[in-house]
Structure 1
Amino acid sequence: MVFAAPGSDPSLGVEELDVEPLVLSDAARSDVSMPPEAQVRETFSYLQVMRAFAVRPDIDVVHNNTLHYLPVVMSSAIPQPLVTTLHTPVTPWLEPALRLNPAAHTVAVSDSVAQLWSTLTPARVIRNGVDALEWSPGPGGDSLVWSGRIVPEKAPHVAALIALRAGWKLRIAGPVSDRHYYETRLAPLLGEQVTHVGHLGTRALRTLVGQSAACLVTPAWEEPYGLVAAEAMACGTPVLAVARGGLSEVVRAPGGLTSQPGADEAATVAGATRLLPSVVAMDRERVRSYALETCSLTATVDAYVALYQELMRS
């Protein structure tokens, strides 16, 4: 079963967690050392969730996909084994939690993430997968695409610079999660050649990606996995990615090519621009076949089911 917060879409078939809202007295709120209320609310919610699992004999394994420290710290307080998937580089919340619980069961979404956490936990690697039925083949087109959150670490402005230098149109899809970054770094590059098409739903995004000649993935941080690259390749759209973190494990010929980051941004843009013609020329059927072989959701599910069964036997 899948647990979700109150107010989740009932059509998803999830079980809502019975979490009481945070109630603080005026005296507590007046404490000058009070941390941000959102932080208190979140911690109180996770505490209730872990207490609920402790009295659920119908649950065999708890799979923790959060970035909060409390499930890891409290894992010994519930009867079920708890496995935590590490979706990011090391964070200040999870690092001390794993140090307190070195026997925690962990999974990393790439070899790169596993290596980043290796001094704290021997994480098993189970890569993310994409639904090949949902991310279906597209015909390609005469524009490039970039998708994701518009934030500095995802660096869509680098994709814009590549497109401008190479003479290609680029459509950028995603929510503006950092307004200052958008206004100062990306907006000045927008125009007739590079456009921001907004935050699209899955169906519209799939159509956009499938109707693009290539997908650019341009992280400025150690990308844990690179799901947008896997989604694009499942559509048959080849990928040109800056080789940061787990992306270099996901994007390889014949599905795509990686560009090593240069000494500076200009060098990265120049290197990617040189590779772009060979990426656009890739055979779309081979690209999709590569995605089905290496980024299969079925393989991901099978690996997790095998892990659950292993934990239940231990």
Structure 2
Amino acid sequence: MANSQTDSPKPKARRPLKIIQIAPLWFPVPPDRYGGTERVVASLCNSLVAKGHKVTLFASPGSQTKADLVSIYDKPLIEAGISWRNYLCNLNNLGKAYRLAKEGKYDIIHSHLDILGIFFDSLTGIPTVHTMHNPLYEAQDKGKTKRFGRFNIFKSYASSLNMVFISQAARSKASLKFLKEEVIYNAVETEKFPFYPNQEDHFIWIARISHSKGIENAIEAARQAGVKLMFAGRIDPDSQKYFDTEIKPKLNSKIKYVGELSQKELPDFYGHAKALLYPIEWEEPFGLVVAEAMSCGTPVIAFKKGSMPELVEDGKTGFVVKTMRGLLAAMRKVDKLDRGYIFKRAQERWNIKRMVESYENFYYRICE
């Protein structure tokens, strides 16, 4: 009788891949403070190297990575005072990355630069993976110039693109058919976010200071509930006026802005809070702060937009609500949630190993 354990064919060993990763140049990889995309890229690169792949990372100087680092400028763009609306430096970075890919016989190029990467996609014969860190949906293009907008440009290239979305909601909103596609959730270094079994008497909010991120909703909820709110986040130069006129006048002894936090400060900020309030006003494709908060055992109360129903298990790891009334009701009952369960689920869902293995499988699928 044949021994099924010894006679069955062994799975074919996968060869290590040569991969180019192309990050935005605004911040180092990983950033000390703001920069969700850069943190994801950092974890991806380091883990791929640890698994035996040859990785070259095009990113800002000051990046700390196990990959081979290529920096074409002498400082991150944000430090150089380059506007978010200036695409030229990132286009230059893409051009140099694709040139190296062609000369160096790489297997995969992975672009994290949204629409900019698609124009280079077919120039080398080397397959490219594009991760959509921003929303992509038709309603973004409006008016008489709609046919010249971002969505329609993607539409014209879609059949030749290998696309990764960071949530099912983001994938559904795109409503385009790509050559190959996958949904791969972002991840956090969960080992850096310990469990906090006990909370203090305040709520938190954290993100880039912007109306779309729901900061005004969080402040209003705290005001109506008569509770303490601590909020943190980066203020971009073009958001300073918004902060000064719409947010700063609402600060008081209960509602406090604590600045932009470093990575080392985040666990205590999340872990001591009763809950993270995330009443967003846009179709958030993921929301790394949500995963980070839950990685400390802290529940999340979010508006039902974008990826929030996927990230937050309603009634278990937080609450997903539609209105201010629902937000206030959830704040009153959030203490009943099991922080131990929230922590356990976060460790299962948002760990780096899961994300990296998913990307690795997608790379091999494309190379086949």
| TM-score category, normalised to shorter length | 0.7 to 0.9
In structure 1, C-alpha distance between the alignment counterparts of 2:91 and 2:132, rounded to whole Å: 19
**1:155 matches 2:155:** no
**What letter corresponds to residue 93 of structure 2 in structure 1?**
S
Q: 1:6 offset after TM fit, Å?
A: 4.8
Q: 1:228 offset after TM fit, Å?
A: 0.8
**Match of 2:184?**
126
**1:100 matches 2:161:** no
Task: Describe the SS at the equivalent of 1:12.
Answer: coil
Relative distance call for 1:64 and 1:42 in structure 2 (3 A) is closer
Task: Describe the SS at the equivalent of 1:75.
Answer: coil
**Match of 1:49?**
97
**Match of 1:13?**
66
**What letter corresponds to residue 272 of structure 2 in structure 1?**
Q
Q: 1:294 offset after TM fit, Å?
A: 2.7
TM-score, structure 1 as length reference: 0.85
TM-score, structure 2 as length reference: 0.73
Q: 1:18 offset after TM fit, Å?
A: 5.7
Relative distance call for 1:161 and 1:108 in structure 2 (3 A) is same
% identical aligned pairs = 25
8 Å CA contact 1:157–1:189 kept in 2: the answer is no
**1:221 matches 2:282:** yes
**Match of 1:167?**
226
**1:113 matches 2:170:** yes
**Match of 1:254?**
316
In structure 2, C-alpha distance between the alignment counterparts of 1:199 and 1:307, rounded to whole Å: 35
**Match of 1:80?**
126
Aligned residues between the structures: 289
Q: Which runs of 5+ in 1 are unaligned?
A: 22-35, 261-267
**Match of 2:27?**
none
1:88-139 alpha-carbon deviations (Å, 9 max, x no partner): 1127447514523522100100111101212253632111122220122123
Q: Which runs of 5+ in 2 are unaligned?
A: 1-54, 75-83, 141-148
Relative distance call for 1:95 and 1:302 in structure 2 (3 A) is farther
**What letter corresponds to residue 328 of structure 2 in structure 1?**
T
Task: Describe the SS at the equivalent of 1:286.
Answer: helix
Relative distance call for 1:203 and 1:20 in structure 2 (3 A) is closer
Task: Describe the SS at the equivalent of 1:54.
Answer: helix
1:61-97 alpha-carbon deviations (Å, 9 max, x no partner): 111111242x222222223211111111127447514
In structure 1, C-alpha distance between the alignment counterparts of 2:221 and 2:85, rounded to whole Å: 42
Q: 1:17 offset after TM fit, Å?
A: 2.6
Give the alignment of 1:123-272 within 5 angstroms.
Answer: 123-138=181-196, 139-177=198-236, 178-252=239-313, 253-260=315-322, 268-272=323-327
In structure 1, C-alpha distance between the alignment counterparts of 2:305 and 2:56, rounded to whole Å: 32
**1:300 matches 2:363:** no
When the two chains are superposed, the root-mean-square deviation of aligned CA atoms in Å is: 2.2
**Match of 2:57?**
3
Relative distance call for 1:60 and 1:94 in structure 2 (3 A) is farther
**What letter corresponds to residue 186 of structure 1 in structure 2?**
I
Task: Describe the SS at the equivalent of 1:144.
Answer: strand
In structure 2, C-alpha distance between the alignment counterparts of 1:4 and 1:142, rounded to whole Å: 43
Task: Describe the SS at the equivalent of 1:77.
Answer: coil
In structure 2, C-alpha distance between the alignment counterparts of 1:45 and 1:303, rounded to whole Å: 26
Moved over 6 A (4+): none
In structure 2, C-alpha distance between the alignment counterparts of 1:192 and 1:63, rounded to whole Å: 47
Q: 1:40 offset after TM fit, Å?
A: 3.4
Q: 1:13 offset after TM fit, Å?
A: 3.3
In structure 2, C-alpha distance between the alignment counterparts of 1:118 and 1:134, rounded to whole Å: 36
In structure 2, C-alpha distance between the alignment counterparts of 1:195 and 1:241, rounded to whole Å: 20
